[in-house]
Amino acid sequence: MIQQGDAIPSVAVKLVNKSGVIDGDSATIFGDGRVILFTVPGAFTPTCHNNHLPGYVSAGEALRTKGVNRIICMTVNDHHVVSAWADASEALGVVEFIADGNATLTKALGLDKDMSGGGMGTRAIRSALVIKDGIVEAVFTEDQPGQVTSSGAPAIVEFLESMPS
Protein backbone atom coordinates (compact mmCIF):
# COMPACT_ATOMS: atom_id res chain seq x y z
CA MET A 1 0.00 0.00 0.00
CA ILE A 2 1.22 3.48 -0.81
CA GLN A 3 2.69 5.31 2.16
CA GLN A 4 3.70 8.76 3.32
CA GLY A 5 6.66 9.96 1.24
CA ASP A 6 5.84 7.83 -1.80
CA ALA A 7 5.33 9.39 -5.23
CA ILE A 8 2.05 8.87 -7.04
CA PRO A 9 2.70 6.40 -9.88
CA SER A 10 2.21 7.34 -13.50
CA VAL A 11 -0.87 5.51 -14.81
CA ALA A 12 -3.29 6.37 -17.61
CA VAL A 13 -6.66 7.40 -16.16
CA LYS A 14 -9.93 8.96 -17.16
CA LEU A 15 -10.58 12.22 -15.32
CA VAL A 16 -14.19 13.34 -15.08
CA ASN A 17 -14.70 17.03 -14.39
CA LYS A 18 -16.80 19.99 -15.54
CA SER A 19 -15.14 19.78 -18.97
CA GLY A 20 -16.23 16.16 -19.46
CA VAL A 21 -14.11 13.03 -19.62
CA ILE A 22 -10.41 13.64 -20.19
CA ASP A 23 -7.66 11.08 -20.75
CA GLY A 24 -4.86 11.89 -18.34
CA ASP A 25 -1.92 10.64 -16.36
CA SER A 26 -2.15 10.20 -12.60
CA ALA A 27 1.33 11.62 -11.94
CA THR A 28 0.39 14.80 -13.80
CA ILE A 29 -3.04 15.11 -12.19
CA PHE A 30 -1.62 14.81 -8.68
CA GLY A 31 1.69 16.52 -9.43
CA ASP A 32 0.86 20.16 -8.79
CA GLY A 33 -0.28 21.62 -5.48
CA ARG A 34 -2.11 19.93 -2.64
CA VAL A 35 -4.70 17.38 -3.71
CA ILE A 36 -7.06 15.27 -1.66
CA LEU A 37 -7.76 11.89 -3.24
CA PHE A 38 -10.49 9.85 -1.65
CA THR A 39 -11.30 6.39 -2.89
CA VAL A 40 -14.63 4.62 -2.68
CA PRO A 41 -15.76 1.08 -3.50
CA GLY A 42 -18.34 2.16 -6.06
CA ALA A 43 -20.36 4.95 -7.61
CA PHE A 44 -23.96 5.07 -6.40
CA THR A 45 -23.29 2.53 -3.63
CA PRO A 46 -25.09 3.54 -0.40
CA THR A 47 -22.22 4.68 1.84
CA CYS A 48 -20.26 6.22 -1.03
CA HIS A 49 -23.25 8.10 -2.44
CA ASN A 50 -25.00 9.10 0.78
CA ASN A 51 -22.08 9.70 3.14
CA HIS A 52 -18.55 9.80 1.73
CA LEU A 53 -18.97 11.96 -1.39
CA PRO A 54 -21.45 14.45 0.15
CA GLY A 55 -19.04 15.10 3.01
CA TYR A 56 -16.39 16.29 0.56
CA VAL A 57 -18.88 18.38 -1.39
CA SER A 58 -19.94 20.09 1.86
CA ALA A 59 -16.35 20.57 3.01
CA GLY A 60 -15.04 21.85 -0.32
CA GLU A 61 -14.64 25.46 0.80
CA ALA A 62 -13.13 24.47 4.16
CA LEU A 63 -10.58 22.30 2.37
CA ARG A 64 -9.70 25.06 -0.07
CA THR A 65 -9.08 27.49 2.81
CA LYS A 66 -6.62 24.89 4.16
CA GLY A 67 -4.61 25.03 0.92
CA VAL A 68 -6.23 22.23 -1.07
CA ASN A 69 -6.14 22.88 -4.82
CA ARG A 70 -8.17 19.87 -5.95
CA ILE A 71 -10.47 17.26 -4.43
CA ILE A 72 -10.65 14.04 -6.44
CA CYS A 73 -12.79 10.97 -5.87
CA MET A 74 -11.63 7.71 -7.43
CA THR A 75 -13.77 4.64 -7.95
CA VAL A 76 -13.40 1.40 -9.89
CA ASN A 77 -16.21 2.08 -12.35
CA ASP A 78 -16.21 2.97 -16.04
CA HIS A 79 -16.28 6.63 -17.05
CA HIS A 80 -19.92 6.47 -18.18
CA VAL A 81 -21.05 5.42 -14.70
CA VAL A 82 -18.73 7.91 -13.01
CA SER A 83 -19.99 10.74 -15.24
CA ALA A 84 -23.59 9.85 -14.39
CA TRP A 85 -22.71 9.75 -10.67
CA ALA A 86 -20.92 13.10 -10.84
CA ASP A 87 -23.99 14.65 -12.49
CA ALA A 88 -26.51 13.01 -10.16
CA SER A 89 -24.57 13.99 -7.04
CA GLU A 90 -24.15 17.60 -8.21
CA ALA A 91 -20.53 17.37 -7.04
CA LEU A 92 -18.85 18.71 -10.18
CA GLY A 93 -17.25 22.06 -9.57
CA VAL A 94 -16.20 20.96 -6.09
CA VAL A 95 -15.02 17.40 -6.70
CA GLU A 96 -13.39 15.86 -9.76
CA PHE A 97 -13.49 12.12 -10.37
CA ILE A 98 -11.18 9.41 -11.63
CA ALA A 99 -12.91 6.52 -13.35
CA ASP A 100 -10.50 3.63 -12.76
CA GLY A 101 -12.51 1.03 -14.67
CA ASN A 102 -9.81 -1.64 -14.68
CA ALA A 103 -8.51 -0.76 -11.20
CA THR A 104 -5.11 0.05 -12.72
CA LEU A 105 -4.35 3.05 -10.51
CA THR A 106 -6.12 1.46 -7.55
CA LYS A 107 -3.81 -1.56 -7.79
CA ALA A 108 -0.72 0.61 -8.39
CA LEU A 109 -1.53 2.41 -5.13
CA GLY A 110 -2.16 -0.88 -3.31
CA LEU A 111 -5.67 0.26 -2.41
CA ASP A 112 -7.45 -2.64 -4.14
CA LYS A 113 -9.65 -5.23 -2.49
CA ASP A 114 -11.32 -8.34 -3.86
CA MET A 115 -15.04 -7.84 -3.31
CA SER A 116 -16.06 -10.74 -5.54
CA GLY A 117 -17.96 -12.32 -2.66
CA GLY A 118 -20.45 -9.46 -2.89
CA GLY A 119 -20.52 -9.56 -6.70
CA MET A 120 -18.45 -6.39 -7.09
CA GLY A 121 -15.10 -7.80 -8.31
CA THR A 122 -11.98 -5.78 -7.59
CA ARG A 123 -12.73 -2.45 -5.96
CA ALA A 124 -10.93 0.33 -4.12
CA ILE A 125 -10.90 0.28 -0.36
CA ARG A 126 -12.38 3.34 1.33
CA SER A 127 -9.49 5.72 1.89
CA ALA A 128 -8.20 9.26 1.62
CA LEU A 129 -4.75 10.52 0.66
CA VAL A 130 -3.31 13.98 1.15
CA ILE A 131 -0.88 14.59 -1.72
CA LYS A 132 1.41 17.56 -2.30
CA ASP A 133 3.21 18.01 -5.59
CA GLY A 134 2.82 14.31 -6.38
CA ILE A 135 4.14 13.05 -3.02
CA VAL A 136 1.87 11.44 -0.44
CA GLU A 137 1.74 13.40 2.81
CA ALA A 138 -0.72 11.11 4.59
CA VAL A 139 -2.86 8.00 4.03
CA PHE A 140 -6.11 7.27 5.86
CA THR A 141 -8.01 3.98 5.45
CA GLU A 142 -11.17 2.59 6.98
CA ASP A 143 -11.17 -0.60 9.03
CA GLN A 144 -14.88 -1.45 8.81
CA PRO A 145 -17.11 -1.75 5.73
CA GLY A 146 -19.66 1.03 5.46
CA GLN A 147 -17.67 3.26 7.82
CA VAL A 148 -16.55 6.79 6.94
CA THR A 149 -14.49 8.16 9.80
CA SER A 150 -10.75 8.47 9.16
CA SER A 151 -11.21 8.93 5.38
CA GLY A 152 -14.10 11.37 5.60
CA ALA A 153 -13.84 15.08 4.90
CA PRO A 154 -14.07 16.15 8.58
CA ALA A 155 -11.05 14.01 9.46
CA ILE A 156 -9.06 15.45 6.55
CA VAL A 157 -9.96 19.04 7.51
CA GLU A 158 -8.83 18.25 11.07
CA PHE A 159 -5.58 16.74 9.78
CA LEU A 160 -4.85 19.81 7.65
CA GLU A 161 -5.59 22.10 10.60
CA SER A 162 -2.98 20.21 12.65
CA MET A 163 -0.25 20.69 10.04
CA PRO A 164 2.26 23.50 10.49
CA SER A 165 1.65 26.41 8.15
Which residues belong to the active site?
Answer: 48
Question: Which helix H or strand E contains 157, and what residues bound it?
Answer: helix 153-162
4 contacts: CB under 8 Å, gap ≥ 6: 136, 137, 138, 139
47 alpha carbon, distance to own chain's centre: 14
78 alpha carbon, distance to own chain's centre: 15
Q: Are 17 and 92 spatial neighbours (Cβ–Cβ below 8 Å)?
A: yes
